[in-house]
Amino acid sequence: MIEAYKILEDNEQQITYEYNSVLTWGIFGALGVGLAGIFLGVFFLQVLCGIAMVAYLYIGFTKVNPINKKVRAALRDGSLTMKGSKYSFSNPLQLTLTKKNSSE
């Protein structure tokens, strides 16, 4: 299955996730296919778009949501660093979450 994030670094101080830009461009492509199906009256293209949307929602609920919960918590704590873009293949979005020391 397609992974939404891959872990680039995981140590005692921080964890860095890299977003899979294929997901963003894949949903744009699915929307384009769906719109083409609507305008051309091709039901098969509309069904393909619907299947892609369901797959995207499944990935969102199972793969993206757990990471997003950690990211929101890190954002509230001020321990989140972001760089890159979710649209870029050459400079993908990287989320670095700084871990709190257990001695604090």
Task: State if pTM tops 0.85.
Answer: no
The amino acid that residue 86 corresponds to is K
Does 33 fall in a domain?
Answer: yes
- Give me 52's structure tokens: 């892609």
Round to whole Å and give the CA distance between 54 and 46: 13
| Start-to-end C-alpha separation, the chain | 39
Does 37 fall in a domain?
Answer: yes
Q: Which domain holds residue 44?
A: 5-98
Does 103 fall in a domain?
Answer: no
pLDDT value at residue 101? 66
Q: What's the total number of domains in the chain? A: 1
Phi, psi of 42 (to 5 degrees): -100, 105
For the segment 5-51, what is each residue's pLDDT rounded down to a tens digit? Answer: 999 999 999 999 999 999 999 999 999 999 999 999 999 999 999 99
